[in-house]
Amino acid sequence: MNQIMRKMLDSYTAVTFLSEYDLRQTKLKQADMIVTPDYLEPSEYRDKIGRIEACQRLGIDPNSFNVLFAGGVNKLKGIDLAVESMNQLKNSDITLIVAGSDGGKINGNRVDILQFVKHFGAIWFSKRITKKIDTYGIKSKIKFIGVQIDMSVAYSGCDLIIFPMKKPHQARPAFEVGVQKKIAVITDFPNIREYIKDGFNGIAVEPDNPTELAKAIVKAKNNRNWLKQLGENNYDYTIKYHTEKNAMAELIGKIRKMLIGAI
């Protein structure tokens, strides 16, 4: 964070952050600092239709062990690592389901020079991922389902989600899927450790390590009772920390104290 942004935030009475990690990075000296975890409405992510119908709607095999990547064709979120891990799992009955947009796919039948320049990085990366899938011969192992208006359907059709992000990033899908008592295999960053406990309500893996990601997927697949227990734990953790009432409790308490002090 640059000095201008830090000075601006320090001029407020209080500043709220999504994690202790984010809070510590700012190093504010004057403003009160509060952690308010991202929260959700559980009813939006519950399993409404069951696995079979969800798979039918998405056009995926319900008999496969379905691993959902919800970041689209996005380098920061680690789609290249997901593809690399699938290359190592090509002989298994594991399928990678990719939800989200592909920034390298430009609307229309042709790309003019301005569009090409504007989206050059995304276009290049998208082509790189497509070439890698073709080179590895794993096109049948990866299913692109595009942007999903209702993510609960994608969560219903999967067995777990993966989030192999390259840099510290908020991982909302990890607790969205918790509503359905499922887990995320996610990169081990300090901000993630606050909400995902490795081997308790999720599986943490090293950054930029597709081999470890592949091993974590196989471990989850081969230990279904353990996977189920982690899912139960993630549900409890999600309801405890990521529902509006619980997540906002400290913030509301702090605001009330401020209002009382101002009287």
**Within this chain, do residues 212 and 255 fall inside the same structural domain, yes or no?**
no
Longest dimension (CA), the chain: 69
Instruction: Provide the pLDDT for residue 1.
Output: 63
Q: Flag whether 119 is in a domain.
A: yes
For the chain, the domain total comes to: 2
Residues 6 or more apart whose Cβ sits within 8 Å of residue 247: 36, 37, 38, 39, 241
CATH of the domain at 92: 3.40.50.2000
The pTM score is: 0.89
- CB neighbour class for 8 (10 Å; exposed up to 12, middle 13-18, buried from 19): exposed
Question: Does residue 30 share a domain with residue 48?
Answer: no
Same domain, 51 and 179: yes
Q: Would you tell me how many other CB atoms lie within 10 Å of the CB of residue 121?
A: 11
Both 144 and 69 in a single domain?
yes
What does each of the 263 residues of the chain score in pLDDT, given as a tens digit? 678 888 888 888 888 888 888 888 888 888 888 888 889 999 999 999 999 999 999 999 999 999 999 999 999 999 999 999 999 999 999 999 999 988 666 444 455 677 667 777 888 899 999 999 999 999 999 999 999 999 999 999 999 999 999 998 888 999 999 999 999 999 999 989 999 999 999 999 999 999 999 999 999 999 999 999 999 999 999 999 999 888 888 778 878 877 776 65
Tell me: do 46 and 164 sit in the same domain.
yes
Residues 94 and 218 in one domain: yes
Specify the residue for token string 């082509």.
127
Residues 156 and 102 placed together within one structural domain of the fold: yes
| pLDDT at residue number 13 | 82
Specify whether 80 is located in the same domain as 10. Answer: no
Regarding whether 93 and 25 lie in a shared domain, the answer is no
Residues 7 and 109 in one domain: no
Q: Are residues 20 and 122 in the same domain?
A: no
Return the pLDDT at 257. Answer: 79
In a domain, 242, yes or no: no
Owning domain of residue 222: 42-234
Return the DSSP state at 78.
T
Tokens of 83: 């593809």
Predicted local distance difference test score (pLDDT) of residue 212: 98
Model pLDDT, residue 107:
47
Angle at 226 between CA 220 and CA 229, to 5 degrees: 120
The answer on 117 and 225 residing in a single domain is yes
The sign of the torsion formed by the CA atoms of 52, 186, 210, 151 equals positive
CA distance 177 to 224: 17
User: How many other C-beta atoms can be found within 10 angstroms of the C-beta atom of residue 46?
Assistant: 12
